[in-house]
């Protein structure tokens, strides 16, 4: 199915005459905005119309042969959709909304994109400039409201300033450490005339330096530490994916025979079936990765930030090790964990300079230590997750079966909660940019709208949303978007009738006082059917294989609800504030 056929909300728009701008032409700001987006290569945008952005929507209607618009069912969904598109396509995602509540509904998505370095541009309408500050209908101070959750924002009050603002927005969103940008455009700027003299992409801003100059002396210092190390350890972050440095990271690991772990957002930066890969690090990370972090003598951290879910107690994080930290954002180096060599650079550029200086090495005994802890984890946790003897279906076996059936080559988008950690642990991501989730913000409701558009950036690959019953109900209205555009997303709801992650903490640390975490849900299959989306509900293990096969064979969207163990827990688990190597592998006897 062609992308344009999936997304056009007006099927007859292909027959509309193209209206290209002349070299210099008088037009209103709304048309200049649309032409600017097209010039930036935007082929798809996600949004919801309203009063203050209506002039732009009116002009957008003339260009549906060149730019697709997806009508989401909520402005938060439009931003998550733009995130999903950016994460899987490598392009800048674009969302658009009206002023007031439309703009403020985007805040959660902006915060999520800021934390997870997603390049998106959000365009908001605004009341007419003469009404600014008067508490006019649907007026909100978007610029000051979004400062904490954007990389840059700007308010445009003159039509002639629109093309330059859009050019800067795209440049800032995608350069350096990517992030979200907001362009707030008053209604009079959209309807006023201007002389459009063509669109000039932004290539430089005098006060903005997104690409730091690589310090080769620092690279030499890093190489010396790697060549001297007996127990090196690579921690692969999302920066590898953002810079396209997957090949360089893998070459470094292979050349120096270094074990690799990833961060949550770094999943799929390194093939999970590679013999040097050991899993992901953090609160619910793999046992060997967490345990041996505090035994390595060198930690090579690439494109990641040392957040609390990775470090646990930062005062007890890899204190025995030298630390090399590659990052393009200067604010991340030495922010939480003191480094011995901090390399401020794009990961691909830095690793390319490093590779010739690194000696070939073998660390056979060090690598063998990971296998010891891996076996302990398998015997205590993974064996039971994949091959349960009795009882309800477990989340781990569902994700493991999906991974096997898709050969680890699907795009998997998870929401936030227990199912997110289970997906991260038990899906074998074989291809880069295959894993999309909300990391730093931990936004419940992220999964469905992000996944529905990840389909479009995934170049025909199977795409799955794995969600919990709680998070799904936060943005389930996007079933309407999926149905109306016939987006072939496969939705798997792991339904444990609880807000599972909160319940797990209540069980472990609050004396099993399940305060408001037992959640009621509608009949999800009937709900999907109301939107014209077929589905099935499964609770018997013997039916699981056939249900997954049926879902995969269906041409179009499909919802599969799987009723899983109600009080299933995710282990290993590092208690909040503990050392990352101090993990729980099972419930204490008194729980």
Instruction: Report the catalytic residues.
Output: 75, 137-138, 187, 501
User: How many CB atoms lie under 10 A from the CB of residue 164?
Assistant: 15
Burial of 440 (C-beta count, 10 Å sphere; 0-12/13-18/19+): middle
d(CA 37, CA 82): 14
Q: Are 445 and 393 in contact (CB under 8 A)?
A: no
N- to C-terminal Cα distance for the chain?
51
Strands 25-28 and 152-156: unpaired
DSSP 253-304: HHHHT--EEE-TTTTTSS-TTSTTEEEE-STT--HHHHHHHTT-SEEEEES-
**Tokens standing for residue 495:** 């339904």
Query: 307: closest CA among 336, 334, 286?
Result: 336
Query: 449: closest CA among 87, 170, 68, 146?
Result: 87
For residue 548, how far is the Cα from the chain centroid? 25
**282: which residues sit within 8 A by CB, 6+ positions away?**
263, 264, 290, 309, 310, 574, 580
DSSP assignment, residue 178? -
Query: 257: closest CA among 220, 227, 237, 297?
Result: 227
d(CA 421, CA 250): 24
Region of 71 on the Ramachandran plot (φ > 0 left; ψ -120 to 50 alpha; else beta):
beta
Sign of the Cα torsion 258, 438, 85, 20 reads: negative
CA distances from 523 to 117, 559, 563 (A): 36, 12, 12
Give the max Cα distance, the chain: 77
CA distances from 159 to 257, 319, 508 (A): 57, 56, 58
HEC sequence for 180-246: EEEEEEEHHHHHCEEEECCCCCCCCECCECCCCCCCHHHHHHHHHHHHHCCCEEEEECHHHHHHCCH
User: Dihedrals φ, ψ of 439, to 5°?
Assistant: -95, -80
Q: Are 491 and 561 in contact (CB under 8 A)?
A: no
d(CA 315, CA 148): 28
3-state SS, residue 121: strand
Sign of the Cα torsion 149, 262, 344, 330 reads: positive
């Amino acid at each position: 199915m062609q992308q344009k056929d999936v997304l056009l909300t007006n099927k007859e728009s292909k027959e509309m005459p193209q209206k290209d701008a002349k070299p210099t032409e008088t037009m209103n700001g709304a048309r200049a905005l649309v032409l600017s987006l097209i010039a930036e290569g935007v082929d798809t945008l996600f949004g919801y119309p309203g009063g203050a952005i209506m002039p732009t929507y009116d002009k957008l209607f003339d260009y549906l042969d060149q730019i697709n618009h997806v009508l989401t069912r909520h402005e938060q969904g439009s931003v998550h959709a733009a995130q999903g598109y950016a994460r899987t396509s490598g392009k800048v995602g674009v969302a658009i909304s009206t002023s007031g509540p439309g703009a403020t509904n985007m805040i959660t998505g902006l915060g999520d994109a800021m934390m997870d370095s997603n390049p998106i541009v959000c365009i908001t309408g605004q009341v007419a400039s003469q009404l600014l500050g008067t508490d006019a209908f649907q007026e909100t101070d978007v610029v000051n409201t979004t400062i904490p959750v954007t990389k840059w924002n700007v308010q445009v009050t003159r039509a002639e300033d629109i093309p330059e603002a859009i050019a800067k927005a795209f440049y800032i969103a995608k350069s350096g450490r990517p992030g979200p940008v907001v362009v707030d455009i008053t209604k009079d700027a959209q309807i006023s005339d201007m002389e459009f003299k063509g669109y000039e992409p932004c290539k430089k801003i005098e006060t903005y330096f997104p690409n730091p100059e690589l310090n080769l002396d620092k690279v030499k210092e890093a190489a010396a530490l790697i060549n001297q190390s007996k127990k090196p350890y690579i921690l692969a972050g999302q920066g590898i994916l953002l810079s396209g440095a997957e090949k360089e990271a893998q070459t470094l690991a292979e050349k120096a025979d270094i074990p690799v772990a990833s961060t949550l957002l770094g999943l799929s930066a390194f093939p999970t079936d590679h013999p040097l890969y050991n899993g992901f690090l953090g609160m619910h990370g793999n046992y060997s990765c967490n345990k041996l972090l505090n035994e390595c003598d060198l930690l090579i951290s690439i494109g990641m930030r040392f957040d609390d879910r990775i470090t646990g107690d930062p005062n007890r994080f890899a204190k025995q090790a030298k630390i090399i930290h590659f990052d393009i954002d200067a604010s991340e180096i030495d922010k939480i964990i003191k480094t011995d060599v901090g390399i401020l650079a794009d990961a691909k550029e830095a690793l390319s300079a490093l590779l010739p200086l690194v000696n070939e090495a073998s660390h056979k005994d060090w690598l063998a230590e990971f296998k010891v802890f891996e076996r302990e984890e398998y015997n205590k946790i993974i064996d039971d997750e994949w091959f349960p003897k009795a009882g309800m279906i477990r989340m781990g076996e569902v994700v493991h079966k999906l991974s096997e059936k898709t050969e680890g080559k699907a795009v998997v988008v998870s929401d936030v909660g227990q199912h997110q950690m289970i997906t991260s642990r038990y899906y074998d991501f074989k291809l880069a940019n295959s894993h999309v989730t909300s990391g730093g913000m931990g936004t419940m409701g992220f999964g469905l709208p992000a996944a529905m558009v990840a389909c479009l950036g995934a170049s025909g690959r199977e795409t799955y949303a794995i969600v919990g019953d709680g998070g799904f109900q936060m943005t389930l209205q996007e079933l309407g978007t999926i149905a109306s555009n016939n987006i072939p997303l496969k939705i798997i709801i792991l339904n444990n009738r609880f807000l599972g992650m909160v319940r797990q903490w209540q069980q472990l640390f609050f004396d099993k006082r399940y305060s408001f975490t037992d959640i009621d849900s509608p009949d999800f299959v009937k709900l999907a059917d109301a939107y014209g989306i077929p589905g099935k509900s499964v609770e018997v293990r013997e039916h699981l294989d056939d249900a997954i096969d049926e879902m995969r064979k269906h041409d179009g969207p499909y919802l599969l609800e799987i009723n899983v163990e109600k009080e299933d827990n995710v282990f290993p688990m590092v208690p909040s504030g503990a050392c990352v190597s101090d993990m729980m592998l099972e419930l204490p006897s008194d729980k």
